[in-house]
Amino acid sequence: MSARRTSIHGSWSSRLAFVLAATGSAVGLGNIWKFPYIAGEHGGGAFVLVYLVCIAIIGIPIMMAEVMLGRRGRQSPINTMRTLAQEAGADPRWSWLGWAGVAGGFLILSYYSVIAGWALAYVFRAGSGMFTGVTADGVASIFNALVTDPERLLAWHTIFMVMTMIVVARGVRSGLEQAVRYMVPALFVILILLNGYALAEGSYDLGLRFLFDADFSKIDANGILIAMGHAFFTLSLGMGAIMVYGSYLPEHASIARTSITISVLDTLVALLAGMAIFPIVFANGLEPGAGPGLIFQTLPIAFGHMTGGALFGTLFFVLLVFAAWTSAISLIEPAVAWLVENRGMTRVHASVLAGVVTWVFGLLTVFSFNLWADFKPMAWLEVFRDATLFDLLDYLTANIMLPLGGLFIALFAAWVMKRDDSLEELDMGDGPAYRLWRFLVRYVTPVAVLIVFLNVTGLVDFGHLLGAG
């Protein structure tokens, strides 16, 4: 019975604390640039509607399943899956799902920390006025000087990893909870301030039209596939972070309401980011489809030529750091929890060990942009002909490990875990809401995630099959 299990790591002080932590985990760099852009390019408001449907049938059911497994196991993802498999009389190799989640989070953080280091560096560049009056060539030069210098990248990567380790080492309530209690609200405050700035200085109406004008002619099979993929990836599912956070969730907190709240807040951050960014982009005649380059090479030009640009540019990059930081602490927590449980380490020692190993793996990404930029280890495969070590890590985690992790979480929760156990843990009663969740997580969600997996890996081009071209 779950009531007899308690986490040796402690628990969140309240449901709100968990909501803030899980929202911090879900909100990352992709929310700031990717969602607003793909929404604008695929029909604006029409895409947002499709995306919300995808969140309802993919994101929320899997999040509920992952939180449910975490709270019932009350351990690291590895030990949780071993315990729950034993409880269900299932194959103990289900613990491999926990291992895959921990490994995925670990690998993601190894390169995520390097990219977050860019944002950290840009806080000081924007604050010092380096972007004031800068040209496009000037911004490109600033960016290239950063990424092609291994010593600079290494320094910022190191600083960000130390920031992450300090928070995690302090424990659930003193570290994780205190961090998200201030950073997540601060993130929303900064977004609101940036929206006010965009309203005053940018082409706010153009930005809103780009994001929200519903053009259903742009919604084709490819747009639906993109919405499905982003609905899965945006909530940090399949990597153990939500499962381990769920293991600290108070006993009687509603998993369904909590999962819905987190999904709404995650989407709200993405929309607020778009409402802040694109008016500034359009006001300066810049290209909205620049992807990650929008953050580091396009927006600095805009901030450099606008009244108060240095201050609000600094605020923007602080926002990015907060988004990355709250995600980073959730990515390393599963490994730290396992070390404490299985190796008898203190949280401090476990955090240092996990952090140092992650930092070492991060060197692969650091050097991918400079010393090893010409090293293409899988060039013999056409699809990876130009892929650096960083590109391969990104592909392995985002396109293979996370979708498969989410798929098997859904399969375990719906087909392996006993119905009575999921009923007890979700505490929804055996009514329409529970039956809808069970139907979705048994049949609809696994098929949707499998389609996402096959599409993003290129094994099946569903867009082409369905006539998207």
pLDDT 10s digit of each residue in the chain, 469 long? 444 688 899 999 999 999 999 999 999 888 887 888 888 888 888 999 999 999 999 999 999 999 999 999 999 999 999 999 999 999 999 999 999 999 999 999 999 999 999 999 999 999 999 999 999 899 999 999 999 999 999 999 999 999 999 999 999 999 999 999 999 999 999 999 999 999 988 889 998 988 888 888 888 888 888 888 888 888 999 999 999 999 999 988 999 999 999 999 999 999 999 899 889 888 888 777 666 677 888 889 989 988 899 999 999 999 999 999 999 999 999 999 999 999 999 999 999 999 999 999 999 999 999 999 999 999 998 889 999 999 999 999 988 999 999 999 999 999 999 999 999 999 999 999 999 999 999 999 999 999 989 988 888 877 666 654 4
Burial category of 299 from C-beta neighbours within 10 Å (exposed 0-12, middle 13-18, buried 19 and up):
buried
Residues recorded for the chain: 469
* Rounded distance between C-alpha atoms, residue 235 and residue 24, angstroms: 10
Whether residue 98 contacts residue 76, with contact meaning beta carbons closer than 8 Å, is answered with: yes
Q: What is the pLDDT of residue 464?
A: 67
User: Which residue, among 139, 118, 192, has the nearest Cα to 303 in the 3D structure?
Assistant: 139
The predicted structure's pLDDT at residue 286: 78
Q: What is the DSSP letter of 371?
A: T
Within 8 A by CB and 6+ apart from 154, the residues are 363, 366
**Distance (Å, rounded) from C-alpha 28 to C-alpha 288?**
19
Q: Which long-range contacts (CB under 8 A, 24 or more apart) does 46-52 make?
A: 46/214, 46/215, 46/216, 46/218, 46/219, 47/218, 47/219, 47/223, 47/227, 48/211, 48/212, 48/271, 49/214, 50/219, 50/223, 50/224, 50/227, 51/227, 51/230, 51/231, 51/267, 52/267
pTM, full prediction: 0.93
pLDDT at 225: 87
User: CA 44 to CA 56: how far, in whole Å?
Assistant: 19
pLDDT at site 461 = 77
Q: Would you state the pLDDT for residue 465?
A: 67
pLDDT score for 284? 82
What residue numbers bound the domain in which 172 lies?
2-465
Q: What is the DSSP letter of 43?
A: T
Query: How many structural domains is the chain composed of?
Result: 1
Structure tokens at 220: 């084709």
374: domain CATH number is 1.20.1740
Give Cα 145 to chain centroid, integer Å.
Answer: 27
pLDDT at position 469 is: 44
